Amino acid sequence: MKNALTPLNFLARSAFVYGDRLAVIDGDRRFTYAQFQERAFRLAAALRKLGVEPGDRVAVLSPNTVMALEPHFGVPLIGAALVMLNTRLAGPELVWILNHCEAKVLLVDPQLAPVLESLRDQMPALLHFITDYEGLLESGCVADVQPIEPDEDGMISINYTSGTTGFPKGVMFRYRGAYLNALGELMEYGLNSSSVYLWTLPLFHCNGWCFPWAVTAAGGVHVLLRQPVPERVVELIRQEGVTHLCGAPIVVGSLAHYCAQQGVKFDNGLRIITAGAPPSPAVLRSAEEMGAEMFHCYGLTETYGPMTVCAWRKEWNQLPANARAQRKARQGVPYIVAGTDCRLVDEQMNDVPADGNSMGEIVMRGNNVMIGYFRNPEATAEAFRGGWFHSGDYAVMHPDGYLEIRDRKKDIIISGGENISSVEVEKQIYEHPAVLEAAVVAVPDEKWGEVPKAFVTLKSEGAATAEDIIAFCRSRMAHFKCPKHVEFRLLPKTATGKIRKNELREKEWAGREKKVN
């Protein structure tokens, strides 16, 4: 008789094996694995008392605290689905999501509660609005909970996409996928019972890329952090002996820049996993210079976060630093335990050559691909056309089988009939010593239809003009690919550190019927 693959087993095992060992650090509070498990059970019991039944949705609006971590176990213990909410959304956006998923209970951090308190009457399905999390746990009795044996293909959580092209879509995760993705992270990034994981990545983002379950499976320590301020990140790395952290390239780049300014270098084997956007080789190099071992992975909300990794080959260690960074910037190959197939295809679903040059869309199917979009069968059917999930990401495959993303489908610039990868241009701009951040989008042009425009944030000590940036690019790549315009500004970002290219693009195309020329 087989048992269902469920990440709930990870906490059960670690509480049994490492019950008296440290599991969670949240500010001044520290909990062992036995206490972690007890708190998860108390949460489950308290939710049952509130009337939560299997299949109901429980939402959480919280920064990285125990209120965000413990529901990853407490909510599915009673068969309910967890809905982690983006803490940077405005009140009406949160109301839309809560109504769409018909959450019965909302757990909300007291500092974030004012965003929604005045809108409670707009959420008829929401029966309980709870700000006193510790009080809620006190109302629950461990003995009242009999964990449900879930269907491994059942829904463990719903994660809402950013909604940059319309209303957000609720991505349904299954127990089996969460379990296997977590095991992949253990294997690919060397998590074990000595690991100390710092939560610089928001727990609401793809369930923290499944690391709540992965770190717990390893018996490692969760170090929770409300806000990833570089000074505090460095302090915790040193104070708690942090071995692992995750973050988008923007987060990693900001940390590396701070460390370079302060002369900080880590020598404890710190491992940093980056994903969320294609990292530039310059960011990867700067992270290595601060003493971190970099791991680059790729995925989407629809794939539980990471599902490929740039699996490193020891022969690449002999390459010069810049060449190493170029190799590490590839998105790589699927996790060994994910059981997910990945292809690069053209518009007719034919595989493109693995020549490092021919671009195709990344399509996937397997264990680490979502069930579908919650209550959105049309979007689900469109995403799975041809029997494969369509990522919308365009990449090349090198002869060794490693993927390298060239762009999002919507971010490819077509100038005078030539395709230009905005990511390729951004990589070159990042090489400029004065540049901290960069984003390139298409803007309208009377002659060429559309041309690249670069939005650049300079380092605090950096200096450059628009002409400098353009000339720098023209010295390193084909002239038609180079930005024709440069604007210096702070870049708009999502809660996970991704640059909002859609916002930059919308401003440039405002007043036009079409966003192409």
Residue spans of the domains in the chain: they are: 30-149, 196-408, 412-508
Q: Which of 470, 463, 475 is nearest to 486 (CA)?
A: 470
pLDDT of residue 321: 85
Tokens of 103: 């959450």
Please say if the pLDDT value at position 44 is more than 50.
Answer: yes
Written as one letter, the residue type at 373 is: Y
Pairing between strand 449-458 and 435-445?
Answer: antiparallel
The percentage of residues in the chain with a pLDDT greater than 70, rounded to a whole number, is 97
Look at 117 and 106; give whichever has higher pLDDT: 106
Q: Residues 194-238: pLDDT tens digits?
A: 999 999 999 999 999 999 999 999 999 999 999 999 999 999 999
Please say if the pLDDT value at position 1 is more than 90.
Answer: no
Please say if the pLDDT value at position 515 is more than 60.
Answer: no
pLDDT of residue 13: 98
- pLDDT band at residue 146, thresholds of 50, 70 and 90? confident
Count of CB atoms situated within 10 Å of the CB of 230: 18
Spatial distance between the Cα atoms of 517 and 506, rounded to a whole number of angstroms: 14
**Residue matched to tokens 């965003």:** 115
Written as one letter, the residue type at 44 is: A
Query: Which residues make beta-bridge pairs with 82?
Result: 58, 157
pLDDT of residue 52: 97
Q: Per CATH, which fold does 30-149 belong to? A: Rossmann fold (3.40.50)
CATH node for 196-408: 3.40.50.12780
Q: Residues 257-267: pLDDT tens digits?
A: 999 999 999 98
Written as one letter, the residue type at 170 is: G
Look at 335 and 174; give whichever has higher pLDDT: 174
First to last CA, the chain: 60
Tokens of 405: 């993303």
CA 370 and chain centroid, separation? 15
pLDDT of residue 516: 46
Q: Which parts of 378-478 are beta strand (E)? A: 389-397, 403-408, 413-415, 418-420, 435-445, 449-458
Coil, strand or helix at 290 = coil
Alpha-carbon separation of residue 83 from 90, 213, 229, 236 (angstroms): 16, 16, 26, 28
Q: Which of 230, 232, 204 is nearest to 494 (CA)?
A: 204
pLDDT of residue 384: 97
- pLDDT band at residue 414, thresholds of 50, 70 and 90? confident
Concatenated DSSP letters of 311-331: ---GGGGGS-HHHHHHHHTS-
User: Any idea of the CA torsion for 267, 273, 274, 276, to the nearest 10 degrees?
Assistant: -160
Alpha-carbon separation of residue 290 from 53, 98, 238, 260, 429 (angstroms): 49, 42, 13, 7, 21
Please say if the pLDDT value at position 117 is more than 50.
Answer: yes
Look at 250 and 239; give whichever has higher pLDDT: 239
Domains 30-149 and 196-408 share a fold: yes
Helices (H), 152-306: 175-189, 206-209, 211-218, 230-240, 249-262, 281-289
* Rg (the chain; Cα; Å): 23
Please say if the pLDDT value at position 488 is more than 50.
Answer: yes
pLDDT of residue 517: 46
Q: Residues 357-396: pLDDT tens digits?
A: 999 999 999 999 999 999 999 999 999 999 999 999 999 9
Coil, strand or helix at 268 = coil
Q: What is the mean pLDDT of residues 413-418?
A: 74
Tokens of 137: 């746990």
DSSP character at residue 369 = S
Contact 266, 290 (CB under 8 A): yes
Per the prediction, the chain carries an average pLDDT of: 92
Q: Residues 54-91: pLDDT tens digits?
A: 999 999 999 999 999 999 999 999 999 999 998 988 89
| 267 CB-side CA count, 13 A | 3
Tokens of 366: 């397997």
Contact 75, 122 (CB under 8 A): no
Q: Which of 349, 356, 367 is nearest to 401 (CA)?
A: 356
Spatial distance between the Cα atoms of 135 and 103, rounded to a whole number of angstroms: 20
Helix%, strand%, coil% for the chain, nearest 5: 35, 25, 40
Please say if the pLDDT value at position 339 is more than 80.
Answer: no
Tokens of 391: 């990522």
Helix axes 321-328, 281-289, angle to 10 degrees: 120
CATH node for 412-508: 3.30.300.30
Helix axes 249-262, 230-240, angle to 10 degrees: 80
Q: Residue 315: CB partners within 8 Å, gap ≥ 6?
A: none
Q: Residues 461-487: pLDDT tens digits?
A: 889 999 999 999 999 887 888 999 999
DSSP character at residue 385 = G
Q: Residue 391: CB partners within 8 Å, gap ≥ 6?
A: 300, 302, 361, 362, 363, 364
- Which range among 86-90, 164-168, 272-276 has the greatest average pLDDT? 272-276
Coil, strand or helix at 158 = strand
Contact 413, 420 (CB under 8 A): yes
pLDDT of residue 164: 45
CA 137 and chain centroid, separation? 29
Q: What is the mean pLDDT of residues 262-283?
A: 88
Contact 455, 429 (CB under 8 A): no
